[in-house]
Structure 1
């Protein structure tokens, strides 16, 4: 391919970042016009707006009526940390470590909480041996490995009659994959993932079993205020009734409401999953016909449909050392960014050098179709040796 022969068609929206992700189609700053800026976060109207965002999230996701929900500072990270610090230590703990965030949770549990947890590891592109998951242990895991392009194959590895809690980081799975609420006790995600919200706020969903843990178990450790879920020895009911642990941006809340209204308008989670699958299938068809690229996840049953991670398999790239491969990926992505056709698609810094293309529901299938010829162009252009300055 002649690297100067650029494709004639460009993606209308070049946003393929894995977080913050693309805004919903048609979004503009006008969507924030009704935000209660300048109002106190505990003003009745502001609290009503926050509660509206909670109620609509519950509605769109189909969260069971007896599950409790709360907004947590610090995005998904804050929500996961709050669960770990408040709930772990009552029984044995297992952590699934197969990508950057699962690894982070494993380190937090073992090194910072000083819990002698069993860490079930797998390299990037694979899942751990799920047959080793114990029903009597608390389990901490990502449903979808945002940095590895790997997701859970389904809920079968979680026992319906488990006695331990499941703490699930679902930040790149919620609104794009079916979540089995009957198998999840603590589920977390963030505004800036699947619906393209602004960053900074985490969402926590607790089953009745998780609430019971808060009510009956004292972890015996000091917990920072922004992570504290208990008060006077029980779950802090105010947090689960719309009170906020600290001050949130009402612009962010308004933006989240806008994304939720769009999700409800287009058909809810079934349509969001369909849009995601359509995007993933377009990219998958391109991978199948392109000899120099492949999925990082070899097993198709665990490939993520949202954060699609790809590796270069051309011998001219695989023969490079790590530093040279990293430089190649940077050259590849920079060529696309200069043309304004694909922004922020380099793999996560902790992952093997490669690409990561977000195919979630806020991305349009037509833009994924338009992207693929540009990926071919960028590869050809990047194979040309850079000239000395």
Structure 2
């Protein structure tokens, strides 16, 4: 099957060979306090920072999932409250989960086609954590390019960003936020079960100020271990190995970004030319990595059924758009030939 599901999505084909190499090397049976594991973790983080152009002062931790990052942030970085700025299901879920832990959340929901602008009249508590979803997987939107910079210029608050559908697919403005996180089953082209968390010196200062050490995944406990290239729990060693191997093979993020944006431009033009309706009408907030197409429930069922018969998996709709959309992943691991196959299918189906 050719999969365009937006997570878990297609893994790089080389991963099959990497798994065999990992098994043959004995690394996946290594003790996670051993020298061989610590060398693996150190090199993986170094390669990740180099390929994604992460600032030198930012630290990288590997955890189980983006959902776990919600928990880490809520436990270890909140003082007053968190403000969640979102327009879709995953941004809302982040807020709801944080509220269960801290009971101190507020929201600033905005419309699907709204070009998000910084509210110049907004007043923030100095200790309020601002939470933003960079790409909303559920509906195929993204925040405007300068939005995080705009917040940075106005306030000195800590900013956390869910970049699950964009990290490793596009260039990220790392220094315009303090915590970035993403699971690897999307733009990283890897199997699920691992997440990358990128943390600024300012966020580390906040964690020290909060001083929370009650959980196995408390940020300070994670950091204590990662500074020694260890982990606070038995890690997904195979996932870490595969992440390192993929980081060695992929081009620099600037090159990947160009490919992602070019493909997104081509996808949007193609869909409109062939009579498909886009969920996101505002071009300024259309995601480059997850493309959402609007159809009737009956038509979606027809399209997905026909695609499956031809060996193609389309993404379901999600959240409010669950029954009236399907989604197409535009992730780096997907090949041009696979994209051409899907486009040929959609052209054929447009005639029916």
Gaps of 5+ in 2: none
Gaps of 5+ in 1: 1-12, 318-324, 382-389
Question: 1:273 corresponds to which residue?
Answer: 257
The normalised TM-score by structure 2 is 0.89
Question: 2:271 corresponds to which residue?
Answer: 287
1:33: Cα distance to partner? 2.8
1:99: Cα distance to partner? 1.3
Query: Are the equivalent residues in 1 in contact too, given 2:133–2:161 (CA < 8 A)?
Result: yes
Question: 1:120 corresponds to which residue?
Answer: 108
Question: 2:10 corresponds to which residue?
Answer: 22
Determine the C-alpha separation between the residues in 1 that align with 2:177 and 2:118: 16
Determine the C-alpha separation between the residues in 2 that align with 1:18 and 1:362: 12
Distance verdict in 2 for CA 1:240–1:329, change over 3 Å:
farther
Distance verdict in 2 for CA 1:193–1:223, change over 3 Å:
farther
1:242: Cα distance to partner? 2.1
Answer yes or no: is 1:245 the counterpart of 2:232: yes
Determine the C-alpha separation between the residues in 2 that align with 1:288 and 1:126: 20
Question: 1:79 corresponds to which residue?
Answer: 69
SS in 2 for 1:194: coil
Matches within 5 A, 1:1-389: 14-24=2-12, 26-35=13-22, 36-73=27-64, 75-88=65-78, 90-115=79-104, 117-126=105-114, 130-131=118-119, 136=126, 137-154=128-145, 155-160=148-153, 162-218=155-211, 223-225=214-216, 227-231=217-221, 236-263=223-250, 267-291=251-275, 293-312=276-295, 317=296, 325=297, 327-340=298-311, 342-348=312-318, 351-352=321-322, 353-378=324-349
1:271: Cα distance to partner? 1.2
- Name the larger-Rg structure: 1
Determine the C-alpha separation between the residues in 1 that align with 2:238 and 2:136: 29
Query: Are the equivalent residues in 1 in contact too, given 2:187–2:332 (CA < 8 A)?
Result: yes
Distance verdict in 2 for CA 1:359–1:243, change over 3 Å:
same
Query: Are the equivalent residues in 1 in contact too, given 2:62–2:195 (CA < 8 A)?
Result: yes
Determine the C-alpha separation between the residues in 2 that align with 1:371 and 1:236: 43
Cα distance per residue 1:124-146 (max 9 Å; x no partner): 45465542665643211111111
Query: Are the equivalent residues in 1 in contact too, given 2:179–2:198 (CA < 8 A)?
Result: yes
SS in 1 for 2:10: coil
Determine the C-alpha separation between the residues in 2 that align with 1:362 and 1:209: 33
Distance verdict in 2 for CA 1:166–1:181, change over 3 Å:
same
1:332: Cα distance to partner? 1.7
Query: Are the equivalent residues in 1 in contact too, given 2:169–2:188 (CA < 8 A)?
Result: no
Cα distance per residue 1:48-72 (max 9 Å; x no partner): 1122211111111111111112111
Cα distance per residue 1:205-251 (max 9 Å; x no partner): 111110000111246xx8542x21235xxx84223442212222322
Query: Are the equivalent residues in 1 in contact too, given 2:9–2:186 (CA < 8 A)?
Result: yes
* Count of residue correspondences: 342
Determine the C-alpha separation between the residues in 2 that align with 1:111 and 1:128: 27
SS in 2 for 1:147: coil
SS in 1 for 2:21: coil
Query: Are the equivalent residues in 2 in contact too, given 1:295–1:309 (CA < 8 A)?
Result: yes
